[in-house]
Structure 1
């Protein structure tokens, strides 16, 4: 039953409740979160842990006038439910449905979009300063996880915020002792000492004895509970940044949270509240295994997640097995992840090679330059990273790796569309932003075995390399145990057209687009090249196909602008070869969440869409339109999806 929850359509209605009703609301909200995520899939453990904190924030602060920034959005489902989106939760992470993260276009209560972590303090600081400049009296609250606090950007923002004595900024550290993977680093040890250190425990016990014989003092300090606890803790790192540190307090205790938040509103300057929560709170299975229940698919809450063996290997599994195999052969191989041990397939590697495994926390910039330092000393670092997170370390990739031509291998997972996580996590741009960097070698795997062989090929190079592969399972090609380096910069023909002159089409397919291109080619009797390398591009193959076919089609699961197709056109232009070219890939807009296959079809990147685009562009007027203009005349006609030479 969710009788009380069903009456809440906006936070103003929460503020009208009696405090005695808030515990009941929390119970109903937690049950709703569990039931909702079990039906749709999504992030569960972290959201079960923020129920009371969410209620307390909306109860104390005047939202949406007061701004709340959730960092990262894994913990924002209770917030969505309480801000008018309860009924829409059935569409969570689906096409045309609710985003799995805060989204400014979705609700006025989503003050800032957050799906990459550690941005909340910077954004809330900007909002707080803006309110002061505009003469408005509003609070800006950043709710940041302990995992997100490991990123340098969070400390950059705190360093900036601490100089303003009257800043209406509140940072709430939601300390649930982990991000996605278990916590790492010195900051985690520091937070653990704050919570469990002997000084704090002894002081708390001593003050408790004093208060037990002084009821009036007890009553007073209970109203000031958050601040009183802060007094017990030694000078903290956060206070050195200019924040008034309060905590740690129980993030599931509304009787502590609400008066503490009220007290914070009365204090001047930047405030830092440390709350301790438990991932999976209230659902025993998620409490016992918060990693498993971090982002589950649909499941029965009564039974829990049932692990069914996958029919086909995922590319992530292929990478994890390969890394263990090469580490067994070469003790110089090092595995690095920015807080994505599970997502990047490094669990077995950590277990087998603990001294060569480095989880650096949510610190992509550091991960890349750290890898550069290892490479300088003759080791072979492999950075396992999602495509969308490579973007966060672009400067380091250029200046610290490529400029020095260091042999660092980037295993780029989630290349292309990722489905339910939407635009913020899509790997749409890595081809375009990697291929323009000198010294880089960039490959795209078309199947599981090719992925394994490409990774091995990359490891043999003397400069920086990247191997991109998509999320999920491949086409089902068995991986060969033996590893053999592929010829550098060479593609392969997978199908040859038998069409007569005037109707010969060659499809230049990259990575995950080889399979649908082959299917499309069967219906069109077209040639298909598995290009394999984006850089160095197999220019000889591109030129040969342009000279023996009447038109070329490039297909990639990446942005068309500046992508692999653009590389092919650049090569043809440089060689003075005239041939019509159709570029197929991701359009120039952000693609929201949805079923991956449906999203690809919407972009025209399934076999039917590829075939249809080719028919519309070329075959409807086959002989008439395929002829190239005679030299030296050169006509360039640009449309949204094609460039005609």
Structure 2
């Protein structure tokens, strides 16, 4: 008979409470093996979760989830939490359509309170929950786990400022300090934490006090506990904790985040304290997987499918990505122009700025998880005579909208914003689809936004963008593989107003307008319409915003105009073109195809596009129905004259 593993016996956090220290350590090893096996097959956030195994076990041994809410910042470090709360059986479908989310998801479990997957929000959620619990008079403690660089985000410090003003708030803030976000965490805060994590004077001194005092007759352990209660004063001398103590929040640590006994002891003390406590844990991202630990770039922060033994990717990249193209273009641009500087928000390598950093180390600025600061800092650099290029994931531009509007655009700051992962990204779920940016940027006065269709057009857009010194320029592109070059057969206009004709059909009454990644789809739609006897012309306006007079004039010559964009339909460029045509009295019927105003469930990009009706087959079928109905109506009108 096969012997059941400890992991197989865990279906809820209660099952941890009867386990000995040795059993918990065995369970930690089993969970690491489980994670490496499962995540290597599906892809996902492996490194962060390998680093929080013991910490998550200790949390669930000490606190009573879901009565005690546990909030994970960013949420990608919640896989161990999912395993302990009865979802180990779902890991074969991790980040797949209809499967287990890669982030906390309340629809999956009562143990997940918040579906959070943008950084630096956990402390605000936890503070609000704790205040609500206090007002309701309930005996519960809220736990917030924040790490992977999330403390570099300003919102976290706004929350800490409010937490410090509530000394009876039952809230435990666990700082999971692994020194990294995607790559090593940067900034003064990170440097301060690094100093704490490497200064052992406090722990050694406290250990000496414990050994000495507990031997004294009559006093013993109570005296040690009393001294431990006054540890803030000791720390001020031995290892200054001004970062937190000046806020007035009780602090304990730094603690070895892989020592289950130490973790449970400190967390139990924090739970009993009855007010806000910060528990500082030092962990190692990627712990237990040699390939991850030796990967200095990101410790396998997020992976595709890999060999579970070697860490090697299972499918070699056979085609460059848009990010690769940006990496190459930025280095070439940096060589030509000394005024170009690059800014990233804790994603140096994911956005393709690693090569620029290596070539121009004095002209790269990683500001941490602080998109708002990145935009305003860029505006300041522009004011000083530089041309900053800020690279963000498209979904994270949402966090800096006010800064784009009021600090950059209002001041006519010549900055360029590169939006990686624009459009449907798929497996990371609703929070990571870059589907809002064109609608948001469309209401910013003076903004110029390009959606290039291939690498050549990307380079052209970037070259033009850095020449603009009195407006915000934005370039958006997909996370998909670069398409083959798509050349025009003709073009109309120049500069911002240029419209490339990619397919011309004589006598066509249908115009298909493709933007960015959907230019290829637009060409496929035209082919399908042609197969059904409907001639269609295809165009690409490289600069999608503002909607140009050239595109409007061209579209007014057609009976039916189809627009395809990897962005919301609401407020998108298709709707803007329709409004322009209506204002000019054009009779063209405009059909806008894009992303619906909804939070889209996880799935592959192709699955999501199929679900929302944005495949070439679905678009052409719908368009064909409109064209044929219009033709029938026209014939009926002619026959009744």
- Unaligned runs of 5+ residues in structure 2 are 488-492, 531-535
CA RMSD of aligned residues (A): 2.5
Task: State the 1:230 CA deviation.
Answer: 5.8
- 1:219 positional shift: 6.0
- Relative to structure 2, which stretch is displaced further, 608-617 or 132-141? 608-617
Aligned to 1:60: 62
Whole-Å separation in 1 of the counterparts to 2:362 and 2:475: 24
The counterpart of 2:604, out of the listed 595, 610, 613, is: 595
Shift of 1:595: 1.1
Structure 2 vs 1, CA of residues 439 and 31 (structure 1 numbering), >3 Å: closer, same or farther?
same
Cα distance in 2 for residues equivalent to 1:224 and 1:527: 81
> In the superposition, relative to structure 1, how do residues 76 and 43 fare at CA in structure 2: closer, same or farther (>3 Å)?
same
Which secondary structure does the structure 1 equivalent of 2:480 belong to? coil
What CA distance in whole angstroms lies between the structure 1 residues aligned with 2:634 and 2:65? 60
Indicate conservation of the 8 Å contact 1:439/1:464, yes or no.
Answer: yes
Q: CA, structure 1 residues 443+395, in 2 after alignment: closer, same or farther (shift >3 Å)?
A: same
Q: Distance in 1 between matches of 2:217 and 2:59?
A: 29
Per-residue displacement from partner, 1:488-528 (whole Å, max 9, x unpaired)? Answer: 2221111123356xxx2111111111101101101213111
Q: Which of 554, 559, 569 in structure 1 is aligned with 2:578?
A: 569
Residues 541-560 of structure 1, C-alpha deviation per residue, up to 9 Å, x if partnerless? 3332332x221111100000
Q: Contact 1:146 / 1:188 at 8 angstroms: preserved in 2? A: no
Alignment pair present for 1:317 and 2:319: no
In the TM superposition, residue 449 of structure 1 has moved relative to its aligned partner by 1.4
Residue 336 of structure 1 aligns to a residue whose secondary structure is strand
For residue 429 of structure 1, what is the aligned residue in structure 2?
A: 436
Report the CA distance shift for 1:625/1:381 in structure 2 as closer, same or farther (over 3 A).
Answer: farther
Using the alignment, how far apart are the partners of 1:545 and 1:65 within structure 2?
Answer: 59
Q: Which residue is equivalent to 2:351?
A: 344
Q: Is the 8 A contact 1:118 1:153 kept in 2?
A: yes
2:92 pairs with 79, 90, 93, which one?
90
| 2:214 and 2:221 in contact (8 A); partners too | no
CA contact (8 A) 1:387 1:414 kept: yes
Conserved? CA contact 1:578–1:628, under 8 Å: no
Match of 2:257?
251
1:488 equivalent to 2:501? Answer: no
Q: Aligned-pair distance for 1:29? A: 1.4
1:3 maps onto 2:5 in alignment: yes
Give the counterpart of 1:35 among 37, 61, 74: 37
Partner residue in 1 for 2:456: 449
Query: Within 2, Cα distance between the matches of 1:512 and 1:393?
Result: 24
Separation of aligned partners in 2, 1:576 and 1:204: 80
Change (3 A) 1:441 1:124: same
Output the CA distance in 2 between the equivalents of 1:179 and 1:628: 65
- Give the structure 1 partner of residue 386 of structure 2: 379
Task: Give the conservation status (yes or no) of the 8 Å contact 2:16–2:60.
Answer: yes
Specify the alignment match of 1:293 in structure 2: 300
Distance 1:292 1:26 in 2: 19
TM-score, normalization by structure 1: 0.91
| 8 Å contact kept, 1:580–1:628 | no
- Quote the offset at 1:609 in angstroms: 2.1
Q: Distance in 1 between matches of 2:403 and 2:513?
A: 31
Alpha-carbon displacement from aligned partner over 1:20-76 (angstroms, at most 9, x marks no partner) = 422222121121111111111101111001111111111111110100000121210
Pick closer, same or farther for the CA change 1:8–1:577 going to 2, 3 Å: same
Distance in 2 of aligned mates of 1:203 and 1:559? 59
* Residue 497 (structure 1) aligned to one of 502, 505, 528: 505
Identify which range, 285-294 or 130-139, moves more after superposition.
285-294
Say yes or no: does 1:578 pair with 2:578. Answer: no
The equivalent position to 1:184 in structure 2, one of 183, 186, 204, is 186
Cα distance in structure 2, aligned partners of 1:383 and 1:167? 39
Q: Which residue of 2 aligns with 1:365?
A: 372
TM-score (norm 2): 0.92
**SS state of the match for residue 388, structure 2?**
strand
Does the 8 Å CA contact 2:409/2:446 hold for their aligned counterparts? yes
